Chains A and B, each alone.
Chain A
Amino acid sequence: MISMKLLAVTSCPNGIAHTYMAAEKLSKAAEAMGVDMKVETQGSIGVENELTAEEIAAADGIIIAADKTVDKSRFVGKRLLEVAVSDGIRRPEELIRAFSEGDVPVYGQGQADAGSRLKTIQEIKQARKSRQNPVYRHLMNGVSYMIPFVVVGGLLIALSLGFGGHPTAHGMAVTPGSFWDHVLQVGTASFSFMVPILAGFIAVSIADRPGLVPGMIGGYIAANGSFYGSTAGAGFLGGIVAGFLAGYVAKWIKTWKVPQMIQPIMPILIIPILSSAVVAAIFIWIIGHPIAIVFSDLQSWLQSMQGASKVVLALILGAMISFDMGGPVNKVAFLFGAAMIQSGQYFIMGPIAVAICIPPLGMGLATFIGRRRYTKDERDAGKAAFAMGLVGITEGAIPFAAADPLRVIPSIMIGSMCGSVIAMLSGVTDHVPHGGPVVAVVRAVDNVPMFFVAILVGIVITALIVNLLKKEIPADEETEGVA
Chain B
Amino acid sequence: MKLTDLVSRELVNLHLQGSTRDEILREMADVLAANGRLLDKDAYLDAVFAREQEGSTGIGFGIAIPHGKSAAVKTPSVAFGKKPEGVDWNSLDGEPAHLVFLLAVPETAEGNEHLKILQMLSRKLIDDEFRQGLLQAANVDEVMALLETVE
Count residues of A near B (Cβ-Cβ below 8 Å): 22
**Residue contact A45 to B55, C-beta cutoff 8 Å:** no
Chain A residues lying within 8 Å of B125, measured Cβ to Cβ, are 21
**Residue contact A44 to B55, C-beta cutoff 8 Å:** no
Considering only CB atoms, which chain A residue lies closest to B57 in the complex? A17
Cβ proximity bits A457-483 to B, threshold 8 Å, 1 near / 0 not: 000000000000000000000000000
Chain B residues lying within 8 Å of A24, measured Cβ to Cβ, are 122-123, 126
- Number of chain B interface residues as a range: 20 to 34
Cβ proximity bits A72-100 to B, threshold 8 Å, 1 near / 0 not: 00000000000010100110000000000
Known: A21-B122, A25-B126. A16 touches B92 (CB 8 A): no
Bound Cα distance from A482 to B46, whole angstroms: 51
**Residue contact A67 to B65, C-beta cutoff 8 Å:** no
Q: List 9 A-B contacts (CB under 8 A).
A: A14-B69, A17-B65, A17-B122, A21-B126, A24-B123, A44-B69, A89-B60, A89-B92, A90-B60
**Residue contact A23 to B123, C-beta cutoff 8 Å:** yes
Query: 8 Å CB contacts to A: which residues of B92-151?
Result: 92-93, 103, 105, 112, 115-116, 118-119, 121-123, 125-126
Count: A-B pairs, CB below 8 Å = 69
Bound Cα distance from A21 to B120, whole angstroms: 9
Query: 8 Å CB contacts to A: which residues of B54-101?
Result: 54-55, 57, 59-60, 65, 67, 69, 92-93
**Residue contact B118 to A17, C-beta cutoff 8 Å:** yes
Among candidates A16, A25, A28, residue contacting B105 with C-beta atoms closer than 8 Å: A16
**Residue contact B59 to A21, C-beta cutoff 8 Å:** yes
Bound Cα distance from A18 to B60, whole angstroms: 12
Known: A24-B126, A43-B119. A14 touches B67 (CB 8 A): yes
Chain A residues lying within 8 Å of B26, measured Cβ to Cβ, are none
Bound Cα distance from A41 to B122, whole angstroms: 13
**Residue contact A16 to B103, C-beta cutoff 8 Å:** yes
**Residue contact B51 to A14, C-beta cutoff 8 Å:** yes
Among candidates A14, A16, A20, residue contacting B123 with C-beta atoms closer than 8 Å: A20
Cβ proximity bits A13-50 to B, threshold 8 Å, 1 near / 0 not: 11011111101110010000000000001011110000
Known: A20-B122, A21-B59, A86-B55. A44 touches B65 (CB 8 A): no
**Residue contact B115 to A16, C-beta cutoff 8 Å:** yes
**Residue contact A13 to B65, C-beta cutoff 8 Å:** no
Considering only CB atoms, which chain A residue lies closest to B101 in the complex? A17
Q: A16-B103, A17-B67, A44-B105 given. 14 additional CB < 8 A pairs?
A: A14-B51, A16-B67, A16-B118, A17-B59, A17-B121, A18-B65, A19-B119, A21-B125, A21-B126, A41-B119, A44-B69, A67-B54, A84-B55, A86-B55
